Structure 1
Amino acid sequence: MADTDKPLLIKRYASRRLYNTETSDYVTLEDIAEFIRDGREVQIIDLKSGDDLTRQYLLQIIAEHESRGENVLPINVLNDLVRSYTNHATSMVPEFLQSSFEMLREGQSKMMENMTKANPLAGMPGMEAMRAQQEAFMKAMTSGLGAMGSAPEAEMDDGETRDAGDDNLDDIKKQLADLQDKLSKLGK
């Protein structure tokens, strides 16, 4: 059994082929993306030079998903990222992005935990399948995010900004409440 606490070591050969050192086989970028979606950390090393190529390949995975229309990063976020490379805010951006995604992951974990624990409808037929679908949806929402980007800001009527993620969370909560209301009416 592989030690999942250590990053999965991928070696890049001179032919640019990627080799999984745990399973002794070649892998594709999509395979690497799947490892990451499954919660596994990866490290990609150039076999000849020993250079760490992880960042380069992760950015390539993101670029491929974005080019296929799987847009996770809004244009304004991409513009802000490009700007951050050319101004003095660069030192703050990585820490901000990292803390934002940690908060997002924690919030989603708590939401899923609360949905499974405190839900009085959990014993109803079909609720287990619905919970599994919700977990798959949450995993799909976060799978493309990795360590890049953040929720876009939305401008309020009074000119202030707020995190657009708050609107998304409110929408999800409303949809969940509507669904629970419909299910409770079906049970009567």
Structure 2
Amino acid sequence: MAETNKPLLIKRYASRRLYNTETSDYVTLEDIALFIREGREVQIVDLKSGDDLTRQYLLQIIAEHESRGESVLPVDVLTDLVRSYTTQATSVVPQFLAASFEMLRQSQSSMMEKMTKSQPSMPAIPGLEAMQAQQAAFFKAMTGGLVGSSGPEKEDAPKAGDDLDTIKKQLAELQDKLSKIGK
């Protein structure tokens, strides 16, 4: 059985075909996207030159999903990403995005843990409102409150306050780290 903590090596041939070295068969971009969704790390290299092409293919997968209407990235975020390539902020953006997504993964993992431990007899999905509040706070903090603002926060959201306080604390820590990196 393959070691799942080791990246799956995909080789690109001169014909541009992608070859899975573990299963000895050809794969498509959609197959690679599926490996990634299943939690697998991938590395795509050019067979002849040995160049790492992973970033190029991951961007291609994202572009294909976005072009099919499976939009995840708001236009404002895409615009800011394009701007970051032409400004002094390029040194901070990768660290900010990596830290933001790590925080999002941790929050989702924590929320899923709480949801699975809750009582199965509850009619509504437990923690759903808290998760929505977390996501709203995360995106509001990430965009400085400019994108996705839907007005004042709900005061009657159950148990969301504790989670929001945790996220606010994590965001403050992230902002401190980013300000230190930018100096």
TM over 0.5: yes
How big is the shift at 1:163? 7.7
Aligned partners of 1:12 and 1:19 also within 8 Å:
yes
The secondary structure found in structure 2 opposite 1:77 is: helix
TM-score by length of 1: 0.68
How big is the shift at 1:125? 9.2
Residue 95 of structure 1 corresponds to which residue in structure 2? 95
The total of aligned residue pairs comes to 148
Gaps of 5+ in 2: 132-137, 161-183
For each residue in 1:62-99, what CA deviation from the matched residue of structure 2 results, as whole angstroms up to 9, or x when unmatched? 00000000000000000000000000000000000000
Please list, as runs of the form range in 1=range in 2, the aligned pairs for 1:129-168 lying within 5 A after superposition: 151=139, 161=145, 164=148
Residue 110 of structure 2 corresponds to which residue in structure 1? 110
Please list, as runs of the form range in 1=range in 2, the aligned pairs for 1:11-160 lying within 5 A after superposition: 11-117=11-117, 119=118, 121-122=119-120, 124=121, 151=139
The structure-2 alpha-carbon separation of the partners of 1:89 and 1:125, relative to structure 1 and needing over 3 Å to count, comes to closer
- After superposition, the CA RMSD in angstroms is 3.2
Q: Report the residue type matching 1:29 in the other structure.
A: L
For each residue in 1:149-188, what CA deviation from the matched residue of structure 2 results, as whole angstroms up to 9, or x when unmatched? x836698xxxx727859x7xx88x95999xxxxxxxxxxx
Q: Report the residue type matching 2:72 in the other structure.
A: V
TM-score by length of 2: 0.70
The structure-2 alpha-carbon separation of the partners of 1:83 and 1:77, relative to structure 1 and needing over 3 Å to count, comes to same
Residue 183 of structure 1 corresponds to which residue in structure 2? none
Instruction: Tell me how far apart the structure 2 counterparts of residues 152 and 68 of structure 1 sit (CA, whole Å).
Output: 26
Gaps of 5+ in 1: 139-149, 178-188
Instruction: Tell me how far apart the structure 2 counterparts of residues 21 and 154 of structure 1 sit (CA, whole Å).
Output: 38
